[in-house]
Amino acid sequence: MTNALHGAVAALAADLGGISHDADPQRLAVASRDYYWFSPILAAELDGLTAELIVTPRDQDEALKTLALCARHRVPITARGCGTGTFGQAVPLAGGVILDTTALDRLVWVGGAGRGAAVRAEAGMPLDRLDEELRQSGRELRMHPSTKRGATLGGFIAGGHAGVGSVQWGILRDRGNILGLKLATVEETPRILEIRGNDLPTVHHAYGVNGLILEVEMPLAAALPWRDVIVTFADFMDAARFGWALASADGIAKKLVAPIAAPLARHFHELTSAIGGAHAVLAMVAEEGGEALRALADEHGGRLVFDHAEGGFRDRPLYEYTWGHTTLAVKNDVPEATYLICIFRGADPLEQVRAVHQQFGAEAPLHLEYKRINGELAVEGVPVIRYTGPEQIERLTQGFESLGVKVANPHTYFLQNGGMHKIDAAQIAFKRAADPYGLMNPGKIAGVDEVAGAPGGAGHLRASGWAY
């Protein structure tokens, strides 16, 4: 069954000719969602919003024709990889087209070795396939989201921030972690821009508001054999301190260090026999770092309870319990669960963790992911809570901030109000030049590009944010 199309979208569909498109209501409903429902506030605002047409270009030529036709007919476009983004980034607020990028999945080139290795691939390339192909030539991605098995390269760049590997290499935004992007503008005759250097932050983590990413060029690391390891502790702060020591141990090659408070780890059902009711540090270290890790765990009074080759336990890699997956595991059991995203950094991040854990640990148990930001080791801390209302979010935000913690607001789809991306005059000028009709993911920039009548009350909840 297809929806009856009207007006500009019907005219667009007629002009698309052989470019694959679909107006099946069930497919549209699925393709118009991401993981916004991690937030009950966004769930109330965004449930039921859908695009009118899914267009799936088979190659870059078809993608450019689609952009040109959308510009001609003034039809809004929301780019979509796999829709694993959070915050409603990929939810269309103004109907129009979902531009499905998943058929743009070619490897363009791979070259170099060691720290000099790099890859260029199309934006719809699945991250797991890309990493698998790279490993066959002794290379691997420096970092990937915990959704590697179900996200695209372009979606990670346009919607993500950091992930597995960031404890070693820093966050995506750090200089050198993205090398270049091929971006198409949305005009009757789309232009191709090569975005590099100081221009990268304009397009990275911008929810696709300023053009369609066609290709991504990324630096690589030498592939290593990784081990999934869990060390448990009776005390959460001992787990946090061990994690910090491991993250700081430059001699141990590592991809993940994630202390998880016991009330959250309890939702990792497959791991219960290993973790019991303890606080757990989930880690990925290179094979040859195992001995040093065990010695460090002994020194901190931890128990090594799990040690497998990556993904060697029930085919599920350990990173799929960390980052956004921790919240997902809790939500599977506790539908009203939700979260904040915090950064503990500065002179003594562990003291901030201790203070937050002591004051809010019962209501807001934390999972921590250690990561480097511009060379400095920092702690991303995500409290997962049983949601009682927006006033709880405000109270916790203010409480955390009073202890020196920076808080991003994951309960808004507005790009700058989330607090992980700054919008300045140069960014707005770029958006206007790349997308003169305001068709790319409209409504996501507060005060600049709002869609009349779109929900968005909670977007104005105040939070300090941690864009820099």
Ligand X SMILES: Cc1cc2nc3c(=O)[nH]c(=O)nc-3n(C[C@H](O)[C@H](O)[C@H](O)COP(=O)(O)OP(=O)(O)OC[C@H]3O[C@@H](n4cnc5c(N)ncnc54)[C@H](O)[C@@H]3O)c2cc1C
Q: Which of 35, 242, 268, 413 binds ligand X (CB under 6 A)?
A: 35
Question: Is 104 or 278 the residue whose CB approaches ligand X more closely?
Answer: 104
One of 76, 165, 208, 219 touching ligand X (CB under 6 A): 208
Backbone angles phi, psi at 378, to 5 degrees: -135, 170
Distance, in Å, from the CA atom of 209 to the CA atom of 434, rounded to the nearest integer, reads: 9
Query: Is 161 among the residues that bind ligand X (CB under 6 A)?
Result: yes
Of 35 and 233, CB closest to ligand X: 35
- Of the two residues 182 and 354, which places its CB atom closer to ligand X in the complex? 182
Cα–Cα distance between 171 and 376 in angstroms, integer? 11
Residue 233 within binding range of ligand X, rule CB under 6 A: no
Residue 46 engages ligand X in binding (rule: CB under 6 A): no
Question: Which residue stretch of 45-53, 154-162, 252-260, 274-282 sits at the interface with ligand X (rule: CB under 6 A)?
Answer: 154-162
Residue 184 lies near ligand X (rule: CB under 6 A): no
Nearest-approach distance from CB 113 to ligand X, in angstroms: 27
CB 294 within 8 A of CB 271: no
168 near ligand X, rule: CB under 6 A: no
Interface with ligand X, residue 152, by CB under 6 A: yes
Q: Is 89 in the site for ligand X (CB under 6 A)?
A: yes
Q: Do 78 and 99 meet the contact criterion of CB atoms below 8 Å apart? A: yes
CB of 124 to ligand X, least distance (A): 7
Pick from 49, 75, 82, 130 the residue near ligand X by CB under 6 A.
82
CA 18 – CA 20 distance, rounded (Å): 6
Site string for ligand X, 286-325 (x = CB under 6 A): -------------------------------------xxx
Q: Which residue is nearest to ligand X (CB)?
A: 155
Look up residue 224 and give its DSSP letter. Answer: -
* Cα dihedral 82, 443, 338, 403 sign: positive
Minimum distance from residue 431 beta carbon to ligand X (Å): 13
Minimum CB distance to ligand X, residue 393 (Å): 19
Instruction: Pick one of 125, 162, 193, 405: the residue that binds ligand X (CB under 6 A).
Output: 162
Inter-helix orientation angle 349-360/236-248, to 10°? 160
Q: Does 36 bind ligand X (CB under 6 A)?
A: no
Cα separation, 429 vs 424, whole angstroms: 9
Please report, for residues 100, 186, 212, 438, 440, the alpha-carbon distance to residue 431 in angstroms, rounded to integers and kept in the order given.
21, 10, 12, 8, 9
219 near ligand X, judged by CB under 6 A: no
| Closest approach of ligand X to the CB of residue 426, in Å | 19
Where helices occur in 249-389 by DSSP H, the ranges are 262-265, 272-275, 290-299, 324-333, 349-360
What token pair was written down for 145?
Answer: 């989201």
Token pair, residue 50, equals 């859908």
Do residues 371 and 78 touch, judged by C-beta distance below 8 A? no
228 token code pair: 């999934």
Spatial separation of the C-alpha atoms in residues 191 and 293, rounded to whole Å:
51
Residue 339 interacting with ligand X (CB under 6 A):
no
Q: Tell whether residue 465 is a contact of ligand X (CB under 6 A).
A: no
> Measured from the CB atom, is 233 or 322 closer to ligand X?
322
- Sole binder of ligand X in the list 31, 70, 158, 330 (CB under 6 A): 158
Give dist(CA 166, CA 373) in Å, integer.
8
> Near ligand X by CB under 6 A, which window of 80-88, 217-225, 259-267, 339-347?
80-88
Report the Cα 129 to chain-centroid distance in Å. Answer: 18
CB of 288 to ligand X, least distance (A): 25
Least distance from ligand X to the Cβ atom of residue 317, Å: 12
Provide the sign of the torsion angle of the four alpha carbons 261, 273, 245, 339, taken in this order. Answer: negative
Query: Is 79 an interacting residue with respect to ligand X (CB under 6 A)?
Result: yes
373 part of the interface to ligand X, by CB under 6 A? no
CA dist 118 and 121 (Å) reads 10
Place of tokens 């506790």: 334
In the complex, which residues of this chain contact ligand X (CB under 6 A)?
A: 34-35, 78-86, 89-90, 101, 123, 145-147, 151-152, 154-156, 158-163, 207-208, 212-213, 323-325, 328, 441
